[in-house]
Chain A
Amino acid sequence: MLAYMLRRLGETILVLVAVSFICFMIFQYLGDPVMAVIGYEHSTPEIVARAREQLGLDRPFYVQYASFIGRALRGDLGRSYVHIRPVGDVIIERIPATLELVTVSIVITAALGLLLGMYTAVRPRNFLSKSILTTSILGISTPTFLIGLLLILVFAVELNWLPSSGRGTTKTLGMWRTGLLTIDGLRHLVLPALALSFYQFALTVRLVRAEMLEVLSKDYIRTAQSKGLARHKVVIKHGLRNAALPAITILGLQFGEMLGFSIVTETVFQWPGLGRLLISSIYSSDNPVIVVYIMFIAVVIAVVNLVVDLAYSLLDPRIVYS
């Protein structure tokens, strides 16, 4: 087990090195970050040249990269050109918003997805099942921004039930700014979480349904039933537990991805999270933030994948890592 963990750690470090190197390589072809620092309005070519030199941006990319790695190993992740603060602070500040959004979204997805996936597998010819499956097709094929805008149009503009954007009133617990402790904050979470979970939910329902159908046709299910076990116990204890595995894997992978890349939802709902940070950093050539961000998400995804794999082996004792 220890060897396995060490190997995973090694792989992650390799990914980090590769990903950051690629970032620096690409930066040469992206926009000019000097402009992000000193702006256009009051700059002249000589001021631009001086700033470029001061920022070390006149050196070849591999030299800049080496310098970045050197400083990173000493704990200095650089300073954001746009926000004029340490990159670590800028990124960490955004984590609560996205984490809350993604967690709520995954909880909705998991709960509804498992429940309804199970239902449509157990009662396949039901009208309700059929409508659930049709809705899931819509969920998979409709772009997230459209779903988001439709939700805003219906629930904010027309019905005026829920707010259209932002996090609303938040409370700060130490370093964590949360929207979960105020009614206003919770109200602001509803629409973005729904928009984000539409696609995941549709996927989960279909996945769980497919797995359940396969599992329910297996011999051991028949055995359990003929043992006299109550139907719902068979379905849940034996059926769902096996069918849930692929769903959990997918959800786990999606968690990491949603954490780093819910750019569309965060833009439509003006959610001040990590996705917004990434896209606006790319647009303003805030390279220090971009490279650290990508590395951070790589770590998150690696950790999430590891957790999912470990959970897998917990749920299925046949799986052993060495």
Chain B
Amino acid sequence: MQNWRTFTSGTLVFLIAVVALTCAVVAQGDGTLRIGIETSLGSMDPMGNAVTTSLSAMRNIYDGFFERSADGTIMPGLVDSWERIDQLTWRLHAREGVSFHNGNPLTAADLKFTLERTATYQQSEYQEVGGAIDRIDLVDDFTLDVFTKNPNPIFPSSIYSLAVMDQEWTTSNDDAYVSTHAMGTGAYKFAEWVPEDHLTLEANPGYWRGAPSIQRVEFRPISDEATRLAALESGDVDLITFVPIESIERLEENSDIDIIAQPADRMIFLGFEHSEGYPTADLRVRQAMYMAINIDEIIEVIWDGYATPATTIVAGPESAYPGFDGTMDRQFAYSPERARELLAEAGYPNGFEITLDSVFDRYPKDEQVSLAVTTYLRQVGIECLLNVRSRSVHFGEIMNAETDFWLTGWREGSYDLYEAFAQHIMTRDPNGSQGGWNAGWYSNADVDRLCVEANQALSADERADLLKQANRIAMEDIAVIPLYAQYDIYGARAGLINFTPRSDMYIIVRDISFK
């Protein structure tokens, strides 16, 4: 009896001692910036994952051919000057005096290798880039000529997210090594990567733009948004992405945390079937659906005001998007009565059945917005059902034109309206590379013509003008129903860092400094 009591109490004391020891708070503040990001990085291969989160992290280790200023304008990167020689030829001049982290000097051969690898490497997510190039000639050590198969007036813009790789390093290591290590010219060197746990980078003092001020960065994927928030609030991380909207009010009252919100470039919109026989083939029906949706209420209730109504399928500062017309308004205001009238006029006084195909694991609030849309449509008599599924099913169906009514988002990485239109609005060619996302078979000859003309225009102004016309026609024709552009919302520990969000959502640590 006595022995047992001693044994139990002894164990209890031991356990408490262990717990107390392990609870000792570890001192922080060793010059490391810890960033909580919303998804994990699949691989370290900069071409392996063209998802913004991965591109953002990789952009610290690698430099691109070109860069974008925070408002979206194309600037020199590892290509310090460039000319368009003719319709099909771009001459790029590589920056001299730049080295990769292993000491290899950057030459035009590395640029050529990178562009070619986008098509030759089976796992590359930039297949189209390499596929659109006919051949590349090395003029000298620091100059290369890129010959495209078709005229591409926005070639620099179209490859801006591509990271420049070291030809020697990439070819002398096997695929598995390349996808678990990184070798770039960037401000930070790859130190350690534990998948799903953290990516640690160390400052590159020899960086060609000058040594960065923050010495170490740790990207920590925390996919559960409650946990990500808790990590910020408990001080485990210094900066997080995608702060959940519901928490903003509470966080604004927390003086230890700063909320940094910035209008994003990603657009959410609805597409529908335009083929004969479908209700949505009738312009009046599309107009009615447009009017039925109360976008202001969606933004107010679901987004707490942290979104802006969209007028077309791209969003963003006008200067960065040739073709985007900032003076254009939304086509219609919320008017459910007029919507009902239009439906009756079109021959659907009692509405019709339709199913909204949507996704739950791709965009913030995607499911809630889809539900709201369905509800609004039902309120004007349209029997709208909701079919929410995982992104791995959803986007495949869009690309295979297997859906009649869908919600999707788009962030035009090239910042060019033509690119967005070529995928979503221009006539779909099942065998070719046009209208890949035009699952509704929308086809407008005027729009197509204007877009093609724009692409052949040699002057940027002429191009922008033609695209604006195409945009106006397509939007008046309700090719799609643009909904909104969300805000990117970051959370940071108050007074710790100087951080300005970028429109492309990249977190470029060399532009951040501790206060």
Across-interface contacts of B129 in A (CB, < 8 A):
42
Minimum Cβ distance to chain A for residue B32 (Å): 12
B399 touches A269 (CB 8 A): no
Beyond known contacts A44-B436, A280-B196: 4 more, CB 8 A cutoff: A32-B395, A84-B176, A162-B22, A270-B222
B179 touches A83 (CB 8 A): yes
Is the CB of B31 closer than 8 A to any CB of chain A?
no
A177 touches B43 (CB 8 A): no
B234 touches A156 (CB 8 A): yes
Cβ-closest chain B residue relative to A153 = B230
Number of A residues with CB within 8 Å of any CB on chain B: 66
A270 touches B224 (CB 8 A): yes
B221 touches A42 (CB 8 A): no
B125 touches A45 (CB 8 A): no
Is the CB of A222 closer than 8 A to any CB of chain B?
no
A165 touches B125 (CB 8 A): no
A47 touches B127 (CB 8 A): yes
Best-buried of A82, A89, A115 by chain B (most CB within 10 Å): A82
Is the CB of A253 closer than 8 A to any CB of chain B?
no
Is the CB of B361 closer than 8 A to any CB of chain A?
yes
A93 touches B195 (CB 8 A): yes
Is the CB of B431 closer than 8 A to any CB of chain A?
yes
For the complex, give the distance between the alpha carbons of A36 and B125 in Å: 9
For the complex, give the distance between the alpha carbons of A152 and B26 in Å: 17
A152 touches B227 (CB 8 A): yes
Is the CB of A124 closer than 8 A to any CB of chain B?
no
Cβ-closest chain A residue relative to B129 = A42
For the complex, give the distance between the alpha carbons of A283 and B42 in Å: 12
For the complex, give the distance between the alpha carbons of A33 and B390 in Å: 13
Is the CB of A142 closer than 8 A to any CB of chain B?
no
Cβ-closest chain B residue relative to A273 = B196
For the complex, give the distance between the alpha carbons of A267 and B226 in Å: 11
Which stretch from A179-187, A203-211, A213-221, A313-321 is at the chain B interface?
A: A179-187
**Cβ-defined partner of A270 (8 Å) among B179, B197, B361:** B197
Minimum Cβ distance to chain A for residue B198 (Å): 7
Is the CB of A85 closer than 8 A to any CB of chain B?
yes
The answer to whether residues A40 and B395 also contact, given A47-B127, A86-B176 and a CB cut-off of 8 A, is yes
Across-interface contacts of A176 in B (CB, < 8 A):
none
A37 touches B390 (CB 8 A): no
Identify the 8 closest CB pairs spanning chains A and B, nearest first.
A31-B392, A39-B125, A32-B396, A272-B196, A44-B433, A272-B197, A84-B179, A42-B128
Segment 43-75 of A: residues with Cβ below 8 Å from B:
43-48, 51, 54
A31 touches B224 (CB 8 A): no
Is the CB of A7 closer than 8 A to any CB of chain B?
no
Across-interface contacts of B227 in A (CB, < 8 A):
149, 152, 164-165, 268-270
Across-interface contacts of A85 in B (CB, < 8 A):
43, 175-176, 179-180
Which stretch from B45-53, B206-214, B447-455, B484-492 is at the chain A interface?
A: B45-53
Is the CB of A134 closer than 8 A to any CB of chain B?
no
Segment 11-39 of A: residues with Cβ below 8 Å from B:
30-39
Best-buried of B127, B220, B231 by chain A (most CB within 10 Å): B127
Interface residue tally on B, bucketed by range: 35 or more
A268 touches B224 (CB 8 A): yes
Contact sample, A vs B, 5 pairs, CB 8 Å cutoff: A32-B392, A38-B123, A164-B234, A165-B236, A167-B197
Is the CB of B244 closer than 8 A to any CB of chain A?
no
Interface flags for B378-421 (1: CB within 8 Å of A; 0: not) read 00000000000011111110010000000000000100000000
A84 touches B48 (CB 8 A): yes
Is the CB of A231 closer than 8 A to any CB of chain B?
yes
B194 touches A82 (CB 8 A): no
Which B residues are within 8 Å of any A CB, using their own CB? 1, 3-4, 8, 19, 21-26, 40, 42-43, 45, 48-51, 118, 122-129, 131, 175-176, 179-180, 194-198, 220-224, 226-227, 230-231, 233-236, 361, 390-396, 399, 413, 430-434, 436
For the complex, give the distance between the alpha carbons of A46 and B431 in Å: 6
Which A residues are within 8 Å of any B CB, using their own CB? 30-48, 51, 54, 81-86, 89, 93-94, 97, 115, 149, 152-153, 156-157, 160-167, 170, 177, 183-184, 186-187, 190, 230-232, 267-270, 272, 276-277, 280, 283-285
Across-interface contacts of A160 in B (CB, < 8 A):
25, 234-235
Minimum Cβ distance to chain A for residue B358 (Å): 15
For the complex, give the distance between the alpha carbons of A31 and B220 in Å: 27
A51 touches B127 (CB 8 A): yes
Minimum Cβ distance to chain A for residue B442 (Å): 16
A42 touches B195 (CB 8 A): no
A152 touches B230 (CB 8 A): yes
For the complex, give the distance between the alpha carbons of A86 and B123 in Å: 13
Across-interface contacts of B22 in A (CB, < 8 A):
162, 183, 186-187, 190
Across-interface contacts of B180 in A (CB, < 8 A):
85
B19 touches A166 (CB 8 A): no
B175 touches A164 (CB 8 A): no
Cβ-closest chain A residue relative to B233 = A157
Across-interface contacts of B127 in A (CB, < 8 A):
38, 42-43, 47, 51
A45 touches B436 (CB 8 A): yes
**Cβ-defined partner of B125 (8 Å) among A32, A42, A268, A269:** A42
B432 touches A38 (CB 8 A): no
For the complex, give the distance between the alpha carbons of A28 and B55 in Å: 30
Cβ-closest chain B residue relative to A37 = B123
For the complex, give the distance between the alpha carbons of A157 and B247 in Å: 14
B51 touches A39 (CB 8 A): yes
**Cβ-defined partner of A38 (8 Å) among B125, B391, B413, B434:** B125
For the complex, give the distance between the alpha carbons of A59 and B394 in Å: 22
